[in-house]
Chain A
Amino acid sequence: MSVYHQMGNDSFNLIGDMPSYVGAILSPVNDDMDAVAAIVRKTALRTSFELIFDPQLYFPRSQRGQLGTWNYFPKDVDTADVTSESWWHGVNDELIRTVAALGISKVCSPACFADTMPDDRYTFDVECTRQLCDSASKNSIHVLQTAIVRLPEVAQADRPMRIASILSRTAASGLYVVFHGEGRPRDALADTEQLKGAMRLLAALKEAGIPVLVGFAGPEIVLWKAAGAADFATGKFFNVRRFTRSRFDEEEGGGGQLPYWFEEALMTYLRDSDLDRVSRRNDLSLASLANPFGQKILEQKKQNPKAAWIKLGWRQYMHWFGDAEARIQAGTLDIESHLIKAEQQWVALDEAKVLMEEVRNNGAWVRAWRRALVEYKKTGP
């Protein structure tokens, strides 16, 4: 049960004093090979810190950031048949050479996004990953199979079990599940059927003994955790952005320029003035008040109200993420009763006519999460 840092632009130092983060998912988008090599050197002495390389070929025709500078990035990507196993084998071999040269011991399999993900597409990914595992094992590199799962698809009745049946055939040591939603990047996941389907998928994989690392995770970690996922990765951008296609069309950093505070009592992000409103009502959770970065933000706002706290906001959220995972694991944070309290608190705010800055920041997703959790528990995987 571990938490990883999903690397963003120059974000490695954010977790310097967060022991709950046991490793990082390296990004070839933000860093070129030299920059990643520097991170590998920096962490070489931290024996319990694990680096995982995500090749990020989700949209292979998109040469975002530094991606095009990497050796494994296919030069024929605009003309290649991406449905050809042999083409992927070439990418896999080059990827393993790159990862071995960096001295990284774990890699996510390359996988690209598709508008629909039928059964044979998952089978194709399982077979490509099998070849990657063969190549990786010769270099003592472990593989996580990347599984892009479209949330609208797992809302269909049998789809989670069908997908899990294929994915559980993986030759990799675990799965790196990336849930892909179609909502706006800033919106919380709020479709009960989709959430329930994702939970059923995670639970079925857990029952099959397949370890799952949920990548690009946000506060919905509470649901994935309830469903039995083992590991999670989040990053600074996931306080306000998530894995959607638009995330890959825009410049990195476009959505993260305002400071946000993650408030566990409401399971939401608060803008600066929202934080003042909630704080004045003494509605901040004990977890938030104990969050060392939260304490710094509140102190700074008291001493110097005009000072920016965006970086502290990232860290406040990331600390919450690791801390919440640990408390759920230890049994000191009960998800179901916590969501009930969060919903009651939103009702109390509404009755007191306390409104958040953003029109959609109204807590409506908490009901969807509660329903997903309750209904999932009734039926199980």
Chain B
Amino acid sequence: MSHDATTFEVVAREICVARKLAFGSLVGSGAFKHTFQVTKGDGVQLALKVYKADSERTAREVSAITRCNHENIAKFHELGNWTTAATSYTFSIEEFLAGGTLSGRLTAGALDATALANLARSLAAAVEHMAGLNLVHRDIKPDNIMFRTAAGPLVLVDFGIVRDLKESSMTQTWAMRGPGSPYFAAPEQLNNDKDLIDWRTDQFGLGVVVTIAATGSHPYASALGGNDPMTVIDRVANRVGPASWFTDWAKGARMTWLVRALSPWPVSRFTKPADLLAVLAGEI
């Protein structure tokens, strides 16, 4: 465990004592936060997230998740601050997602048709909810898609780079790339086209995730299973459009909605979240 993680764990244990929670274990760590599994007195498992305080990223994530209230978005219980002799931290207590990540499930192979349909509809519902709050997640990827239980519903997590469209962007215009995981990012993110970012940016990420969950390949890869990640990212950034193998596959799989969702320009994707949900209800 890194020095950073050790420090966070000390803080997490102190919070557990103060909140009468049983400390469990570290279940995830990133540059800005560490997540621990903890247990309430009644046996209910929770996720304790400890953030470096005063970071804009923390404020953004906490602000976003406290505004959301949706089955496919992690449930939020409490927000607080914790100060040690040397440092201040922010912490949140959220539901614990015991079902693992989509990344973990994909290691066993592609999803079947039923699971794929659930994935698409659940993600679209979460994105619709966020769009209603003027929020754009901007980092939809298998690592950020978890499950409540082994058979339970999908939950979108990690709002660290969420964008509130009512607030000015924090990304500098001179940045070569906007924030997000490049392999799953939309062209407007990769090109840092801030004025083109809206819920349709998440729609693109959703499309990439569903395609990978079904085929194992990125829809902009020139061949099924082909292209290294950097080549794929360049193809997305250059807005070459989805590959022909992908459009053929989508037609055969009766998932042509994916072709539209993965259009290189937002105007060519579904205009409103309700449009996408309606198509998903009918097509798959």
Q: Which positions in A face B, CB cutoff 8 Å?
A: 119-120, 122-123, 158, 161-162, 164-169, 204-205, 207-210, 381
Contact = CB atoms under 8 A, between A and B. Distances in A.
B195 A208 contact: no
Contact of B198 (A120, A169, A209): A169
A119 B195 contact: yes
- The winner among B195, B200, B267 for most chain A CB atoms within 10 A is B267
Contacts of B198: 169
B268 interface: yes
B257 interface: no
Contact of A208 (B193, B194, B239, B268): B268
A161 B267 contact: yes
Contact of B195 (A123, A204, A210): A123
Of A123, A169, A207, A210, chain B has the most CB atoms within 10 Å of the CB of A169
A39 to B, nearest CB: 34
Contact of A120 (B195, B267, B275): B195
Contacts of A164: 265, 267
Given A164-B265, A165-B267, A208-B271, 9 more contacts: A120-B195, A161-B267, A162-B196, A165-B188, A165-B196, A165-B265, A167-B267, A204-B267, A210-B271
Main SS of chain A's interface residues?
helix
A119 B268 contact: no
Contacts of B239: 158
Nearest to B264: A161
Interface string B253-279: 000000000000111100100010000
Nearest to A124: B195
Contact of B268 (A120, A122, A204): A204
B250 to A, nearest CB: 18
A204 B271 contact: no
14 contacts: A119-B196, A120-B195, A122-B195, A161-B265, A164-B265, A164-B267, A165-B188, A165-B196, A167-B267, A204-B267, A208-B271, A209-B275, A210-B271, A381-B268
Interface string B195-239: 110101000000000000000000000000000000000000001
Q: Which range holds the interface residue count of chain B?
A: 10 to 19
Given A162-B193, A162-B196, A169-B198, A209 B271 contact: yes
A168 B267 contact: yes
Interface of B: 188, 193-196, 198, 200, 239, 265-268, 271, 275
A329 B13 CA distance: 72
A381 B268 CA distance: 9
Contacts of A123: 195
Contacts, number: 42
A82 B200 CA distance: 29
A123 B193 CA distance: 12
Contacts of B195: 119-120, 122-123, 166
Contacts of A381: 268
Contacts of B193: 119, 162
A209 B269 CA distance: 11
B200 to A, nearest CB: 8
A312 to B, nearest CB: 43
Nearest to B266: A165
B176 to A, nearest CB: 17
A270 to B, nearest CB: 40
A166 B266 CA distance: 8
A120 B271 CA distance: 20
B247 to A, nearest CB: 15
A161 B188 CA distance: 12
Contacts of A158: 239
B265 A204 contact: yes
Contacts of B266: 165, 168
Nearest to A210: B271
Nearest to B196: A165
Contacts of A165: 188, 196, 200, 265-267
Contacts of A204: 265, 267-268
Contacts of B275: 209
Contacts of B200: 165
| Most chain A C-beta atoms within 10 Å of own C-beta, residue among B193, B195, B239 | B195
Nearest to A119: B195
Contacts of A209: 271, 275
Contacts of A161: 265, 267-268
B267 A208 contact: yes
A166 B188 CA distance: 12
B103 to A, nearest CB: 30
Contacts of A167: 267
A20 to B, nearest CB: 30
Contacts of B267: 161, 164-165, 167-168, 204-205, 207-208
Contacts of A119: 193-196
A262 B245 CA distance: 51
Contacts of A207: 267-268
A119 B197 CA distance: 11
Nearest to A207: B268
A166 B239 CA distance: 17
